[in-house]
Every structure is written in structure tokens, then in C-alpha cells.
Amino acid sequence: MDIYPAVDIRNGRCVRLMQGDFAREEVFSDDPLAVAEAWFDEGAPLIHVVDLDGAREGGRANAAVVEAMAGRGIPVQVGGGIRSYEDVRSLLDSGARRVVIGTVAVEDPCLRRRLLGEFGERVVVGLDCRDGRVSTRGWLRQEQLRARDLANTVMEEGGRHVLVTDISRDGTLQGPNVELLGEVLETGAAVIASGGVGSVEHLRILARLAAGNPDLKGVIVGRALYVGTLEYELASEIVREELQCWRNE
């Protein structure tokens, strides 16, 4: 299980939102590219980048910044405002390692199947959840679809990776939703966890889960890294040690 630092971009700046609320924004840098480079230099195997303007309004408002990251060889997983085949193709061609689709994965099943069939593991389906149900349109619209059901569909259609975010915990530092993660892991999908990680103990909880289920591939950490409750290199070392410990038992 790897740790992926989050770089969320709004109006060209690196920010964090509380529980996906655009009115509760905290700015951490005016230079998202420099932030991504810094995490990469610290050893992050992948940077999770979200275009928040795109997620809310559609379109790729911060495309130039994202493509500059990929162009410099920074390994990025990109989401937010990706609504078409051309968006996905362009990002992958620019050097992005993976592209996350959320709204379009729910609203356009035909396109979802096409993307998963053509690009396979390079397309990640985002399961942004409130009470176990998927939200779309920058977390502003609540769907009736349950996260585990969409994960099952992704697997049936040839996909592999899903990004599971508990919106109610995002930015709160109150801990991950282990129950939700367990439900989705039962589908056999490769899971990336997101939402609520704020301490070493939270990482230990996820490492224990990953030791028993190697399909938990990674965890996205945002606010904790920016406010200093977690330090990237130390956090990565603790996860490695915890995994080793639990796998040896």
C-alpha cells in the first residue's frame, strides 16, 4: 500500500476543501506545480491531482498546470472535470499515469465501458460516497447507486482500479471509513482509499487492512501532509514496517 499525496487545484492554486465544500477552502500554495515536484522529490510514487474547477463546472480549467506536471516527468493520477474520451486520451498522451473518471462513469455507461475496454488499468473509476452512495458533479449531486455495486460493474467491464472517497471524512483528519473500504474490497477491485487520514494511527489501521487484503493498493493523503500531522517519508516508512509486521504474523 503506497501513500499518494494530493494536490487539489482551484483557480490555479493548491487548496484543500473541507468535506468537499467549496465555501470551506484553505489555500496552501500559489504554485501547484512546485508542490507536486516537492512530493515527487520526497519519494511519492504517484501524485493525486484534482482539478476542482473542472469537477464542479465541467471542462479542464487547470489543464495547463496538470499537463506541465506530467510533462516534467512527475507521475500523476488526474481527476476532475473529465467528461469525454478526448479528455482521457489527451491526459494520457501528455504523460499522466492514470486518469480518474467520476461523473461520466455514472452518467455515461457507454463511454465508461469504452474507456475501460481501451485503457484498462490506466482509467480509475472514482467512487465518491456519502452514506455508501455515489455522488457526482463535484460531489454536489447524490446518486442512488451504491459504491460496491459500481465497483462490481467496473470489474465486469474490464476495469481494475477504483478510488473510494468518503466525502463526510474528507479533510477532517478523523480517520478512514474502514467499513466502506471493506465493502468495496469484497468486489475484488484494486482499491485506493481517500478521506479522513490524519495520523500515524490511521495509516496503521489501513496497513492492517492491506496486510490481509493486498487489493488495497494505496491511500491518498492531503490535509494531514499540508498541516504537518503527517510527514511523508516517515509515514511511508511506518506503513512499510506495519505491513511487514502484520504479514509475518
Instruction: For 187-198, write each residue's pLDDT tens digit.
Output: 999 999 999 999
Candidate list 8, 53, 166, 170, residue with the active-site label: 8
Q: Is 196 left (phi over 0), alpha (psi -120 to 50) or beta?
A: left
Which residues partner with 123 through β-bridges? 99
What's the structural domain count of the chain? Answer: 1
Confidence at residue 132, expressed as pLDDT on a 0 to 100 scale = 83
Candidate list 51, 53, 87, 128, residue with the active-site label: 128
21 is catalytic: no
Confidence at residue 172, expressed as pLDDT on a 0 to 100 scale = 87
Confidence at residue 247, expressed as pLDDT on a 0 to 100 scale = 74
Share of residues in the chain with pLDDT > 90 (%): 76
- For residue 210, pLDDT over 70 is answered with yes
pTM of the model: 0.92
**Contact assessment for residue 192 and residue 163, using Cβ atoms and an 8 Å cutoff:** yes
Mean pLDDT of the chain: 92
CATH label of the domain that carries residue 60: 3.20.20.70
**Mean pLDDT calculated for residue range 17-23:** 81
Confidence at residue 181, expressed as pLDDT on a 0 to 100 scale = 97
* pLDDT tens digits for range 228-238: 999 999 999 99
**Contact assessment for residue 108 and residue 153, using Cβ atoms and an 8 Å cutoff:** no
Here the cell at position 154 is: 467496473
8 is catalytic: yes
* Enclosing domain of residue 228: 2-248
112 backbone dihedrals φ, ψ, rounded to 5° = -55, -45
CA-closest candidate to residue 193, choices 154, 232, 228, 161: 161
